[in-house]
Amino acid sequence: MELTLWTYEGPPHVGAMRVAASMRDVHFVLHAPQGDTYADLLFTMIERNDRRPPVTYTTFQARDLGGDTAELFKDAVAAARARFAPKAMLVGASCTAELLQDDPGGLARTLGLDVPTIPLELPSYSKKENWGAAETFYRIVRALAGPARPRGARTRTCNILGATSLGFRNRDDVVEIRRLIESLGIAVGVAAPAGAAPEDIARLGDADFNVVLYPEIALPAAKYLEKHFGQPYTRTIPIGARATRDFVAEISALAGIDPVPDMGPSRADWYARSVDSNYLTGKRVFIFGDATHALGAARVAATEIGFDVVGLGTYSREFAREVRAAAAGYGIEALIADDYLEVEAAITKAQPELVLGTQMERHIAKRLGVPCAVISAPVHVQDFPARYSPQMGFEGANVLFDTWIHPLTMGLEEHLLSMFREDFEFHGDAAPSHLGAGPGTLAAAGKPIVIATPPAAANGSPAWTAEAESELKKIPFFVRGKARRNCERFAAERGVSSITVETLYDAKAHFSR
Amino acid sequence: MNDAPAFPAAPAADCAVPPGVGPSEAAGRGQREVFCGLTGIVWLHRKIQDAFFLVVGSRTCAHLLQSAAGVMIFAEPRFATAILGERDLAGLADANEELDRVVGRLLERRPEIRLLFLVGSCPSEVIKLDLARAAQRLGRVHSPRVRVLSYSGSGIETTFTQGEDACLAALVPDMPAASDRSLLVVGALAEIVEDQMRRLFARIGVGPVAFLPPRKASELPAVGKATRYILAQPFLADTAMALERRGATRIAAPFPLGVEGTTLWLRAAAAAWGIAADKVDAVVAPDRARAEAVLAAKAADLAGKRVFFFPDSQLELPLARFLARELGMVPLEVGTPYLHRGLMADELALLPAGTEAVEAQDVDAGLDRVRALRPDLTVCGLGLANPLEAEGLATKWSIELLFSPIQGYEQAGDLAELFRRPLTRRARLAA
């Protein structure tokens, strides 16, 4: 039993729904109680889809439990087949129906349906949403993908795998990456699951290789296709300009074409080199999200913008190894967690100047008064902007630069803030002026300010003079806690019992070396 | 002051054809499209300020609360989910131990909690995890600091607002005993609505007045044989029964939606205090005149418009009555997840003749009918609204009716506006 306030992932059947809702001519019959129909609103309200997800729920009630819920399931499948006339059907159970052990796959088989019917095993008590999506896509590919047709003389072709409904900016990523691939003279056969119909899945085998955009969703299917149809798949995720160039090199090699020497540079490359970006150097950034976006963001942050990555983590336990390895490269330890409180504690401790995370971290950052940009699912209605806004490819790199930099206090303003810290409307706790009054500051959040609390004030640590305390307040709040601790350590090590302004600057000089 | 505007004295006599009452053929046995009772936690955890709601369920339950509620605006919600894992399913003894551990951790983290609800879910019901016993056990452990109660919000037993019913019913046995006459207003209401009602009852001369649920768990109102209770929300059948077991007597009335509903509701309460209707009318005349003026302005855009309700909150019948009788709208079909004929008797009597009331309909069949009828306004849940808008049908998402103050005179205009806005907005965007 696990105590949860908020969750990063839904149950596995929601992952299955995401795949079904991404595709055309597929219908999913889910053995589930009536309350589970809430999941429709993820698609109609968060993503603002103009159609209901193609899902029929059996909506059994307590009074059905004594009777024949299996019969109810069969009726629902037959009715859905008749009403929606899909070209393929998925059948499965949600958490409650799993306990009834009605065997949706076996029951559907007895109906002798005239369309391919794919049974899904979605263990709700051990697996989660992304696993469910990956499993569903894999089962669909296994059931429907045919072997390659004989090749004539034709252009090199690849498939783009992994984009789904409710994925973070997947809609625009596919457009961007498809454009990039086609600009190299490589054709795109099928993009799936998003936008694909069962007949598209059937011709996946025709391609020369697969592009895996989101390993969380597409990896099991890509591995299957590699094993059975000999299609290699890509490892590079094109998030950021550098990764996009690596991606171009990787697919050029897979397609057997000459590498294009001079892709880019993107506008973000130039902006990062522009002098006004100097102030971005070494800003402390904390990154948390699904593995794909967290890893991509860390590389961009460190190598394209010049931030210090002070925290890196993911809720995608399936990719813990990769994230740990990347974190080690930044000299930090990865945070592998799906407990929101644990993430909050880690962010508070790391004292970042920018948080790149999910909507949950956005909330944490808001409470701490730290700027934040959202880089990963779970999604929110704001993660479906009306404008074109990919995260991948060269345009994606531009989007990342803008989205991450805009929440920060801008270079010259930052200088003025530190020069005139006591200005009544221009002080250190004020939000960046171009963002209006903005979110509450740490003090306004009404909670004890953890990072500003002297950790060992009570047990014999050096005391602060009023003057030094006031000087400390002129230091930006996100490093104030660290400065306080450093001063106290410095004083304690030297047997100084009272911290004065002098001690503060001695400590500053000491730790700056 | 005897010219009190008469509402139909014997409404049933006006009905050439009584309203059709489901389950009719339209109901069918297809898919329902409703929330489960856990959803009520979204407003109950704000209403009772020192209570905490711990759902014992699956990842789906946690995901529902997070998604349906849009709860991310809250710093730290006063609800959480104890997610059952494979180990809990394997042995109930372990599950109980685990629950004790989780509750211990929670209460340690949130020392301000005075009342803890263990909320049952579909999985906890199916595996027969006895939360009533668990609540007793945990209550003994954490007494006197925290009271522990339980109820079920499971989707196999409850829809949407029935979760509030189950929660309030669980509070009733805990209410202190009373011997003095008092009025108990039952159903979670916005604080502003409660305050208005309190003032109205004081002016009319009805009292003392208490509200269930209270704003603080420590302020549970008393109940006894002299208690008269009146429902402010239509979905509280179990709470009503629990109050009657404590000796309280129900004051039958329509629900306080719109000028007419509010007036009849106040008159019913006053009658129980031996106060005549014309006295009530005289007292509320200014409030009423104000509300009627606002409604008259709104009615211009709504009169004659055809409205269709998908089942959602059990508020559908009183809302249809309000829209029909005070704004001149034409209810085509009024779906409701559950129709309690006893509690709804006064509402059914006021509905226009021939109104089709459908209990627990098949959503696909309902969509077929709505597409054939093409009403001017469709009241439906969040799963259906945008798809219907995309088909060119104006919709009002019904969850807003639970999250807004809509009861009483001062809110009658706001309630009308909730239905008017989708239509005026379309007109603006079309211009």
List per-residue pLDDT tens for chain A, 513 residues long.
Answer: 999 888 999 999 999 999 999 999 999 999 999 999 999 999 999 999 999 999 999 999 988 887 789 999 999 999 999 999 999 999 999 999 999 999 999 999 999 999 999 999 999 999 999 999 999 999 999 999 987 777 665 679 999 999 999 999 999 999 999 999 999 999 999 999 999 999 999 999 999 999 999 999 999 999 999 999 999 999 999 999 999 999 999 999 999 998 777 776 689 999 999 998 988 999 999 999 999 999 999 999 999 999 999 999 999 999 999 999 999 999 999 999 999 889 999 999 999 999 999 999 998 998 888 999 999 999 888 899 999 999 999 999 999 999 999 988 776 666 666 666 555 555 555 555 555 544 444 333 333 333 333 434 445 678 899 988 888 887 766 677 778 888 888 898 898 889 998 888 888 888 876
DSSP class per residue in A31-43:
E-BGGGGGGHHII
Does one domain contain both A506 and A375?
Answer: no
pLDDT tens digits along A261-292? 777 668 999 999 999 898 899 999 999 999 99
Fold of B37-158: Rossmann fold (3.40.50)
Q: What is the pLDDT of residue A477?
A: 65
Query: Where in the sequence is the domain holding A246, given as residue range(s)?
Result: 157-255
The separation between the first and the last C-alpha atoms of chain B, rounded to the nearest angstrom, is: 47
> Looking at A225, A255, A285, which one is the last position of a domain?
A255
Contact residues on chain B for A75, CB-CB shorter than 8 A: 29
Q: What is the pLDDT of residue A420?
A: 60
Catalytic-role residue among A276, A290, A308, A402: A276
* CA–CA min distance A5, chain B (Å): 5
* B86: nearest CB among A7, A83, A125: A125
What are the respective helix, strand and coil percentages of chain B, to the nearest 5? 50, 15, 35
Does one domain contain both A359 and A496?
Answer: no
Does one domain contain both A133 and A173?
Answer: no
pTM of the entire predicted model: 0.90
Q: What is the pLDDT of residue A457?
A: 43
Chain B residue whose CA is closest to A100: B126
Are the Cβ atoms of A95 and B85 closer than 8 angstroms? no
A2 lies in a domain? no
Mean pLDDT of chain B: 91
> Looking at A116, A144, A172, which one is the last position of a domain?
A144
Are the Cβ atoms of B60 and A94 closer than 8 angstroms? yes
Q: Residue A431 class from Cβ within 10 Å (0-12 exposed, 13-18 middle, 19+ buried)?
A: middle
What per-residue string of b and e applies to A309-322 under the rule 16 or more CB within 10 Å gives b? bbbbbbbbbbbbeb
Which sign does the torsion angle of CA A202, A208, A211, A212 carry? positive
Contact map slice: A 2-61 vs B, CB within 8 A:
2-7, 9-11, 13-14, 33-42, 44-46, 48-52, 56-61
A234 lies in a domain? yes
Does one domain contain both A494 and A386?
Answer: no
Question: Kind of pairing, strands A88-93 and A26-31?
Answer: parallel
Domain residue limits, chain B: 11-32+284-430, 37-158, 182-277
Structural domains in chain A (count): 4
Are the Cβ atoms of A61 and B66 closer than 8 angstroms? no
Contact residues on chain B for A95, CB-CB shorter than 8 A: 58-60, 122-123
DSSP class per residue in B147-206:
EEEEEE--TTT-BTTHHHHHHHHHHGGGSPB--S-EEEEES---HHHHHHHHHHHHHHT-
* CA–CA min distance B382, chain A (Å): 5
pLDDT tens digits along A199-216? 999 999 999 999 999 999
Does one domain contain both A132 and A190?
Answer: no
> Looking at A96, A114, A144, which one is the last position of a domain?
A144
Does one domain contain both A139 and A23?
Answer: yes
Look up the CATH number of the domain holding residue A124.
Answer: 3.40.50.1980
Chain B residue whose CA is closest to A381: B70
Does one domain contain both A276 and A345?
Answer: yes
Q: Which residues pair with A409 in a beta bridge?
A: none
A441 lies in a domain? no
* B68: nearest CB among A2, A9, A38: A38
- The owner of tokens 């968060």 is A46
Does one domain contain both A138 and A170?
Answer: no
Among A1, A74, A450, most B C-beta atoms within 10 A, so best to mutate, is A1
Distance CA B366, CA B383 (A): 14
Does one domain contain both A236 and A316?
Answer: no
A109 lies in a domain? yes
Distance CA B124, CA B129 (A): 5
Chain B CB within 8 Å of residue A334 CB: no
CA B191 to chain centre: 15
Does one domain contain both A47 and A100?
Answer: yes
A418 lies in a domain? no
Chain B residue whose CA is closest to A128: B59
Does one domain contain both A391 and A309?
Answer: yes
Q: Residue A155 class from Cβ within 10 Å (0-12 exposed, 13-18 middle, 19+ buried)?
A: exposed
- The encoded tokens of residue A315 equal 């809720």
| Residues in Cβ contact with B104 at an 8 Å cutoff, skipping those fewer than 6 apart | none
- The owner of tokens 């209460």 is B107
Q: Where does A318-444 show beta strands of DSSP type E?
A: 335-336, 354-357, 372-374
Are the Cβ atoms of A36 and B102 closer than 8 angstroms? no
Does one domain contain both A220 and A347?
Answer: no
CATH classification of B11-32+284-430 is 3.40.50.1980, yes or no? yes
How many CB atoms are located within 10 Å of the residue A185 CB?
12
Asked about A276 being catalytic, the answer comes back as yes
* A5: nearest CB among B39, B76, B126: B76
Helical pair A12-22 and B59-69, crossing angle rounded to 10 deg = 60
Are the Cβ atoms of A45 and B159 closer than 8 angstroms? no
Q: What is the CATH architecture assignment of B182-277? A: 3-Layer(aba) Sandwich (3.40)
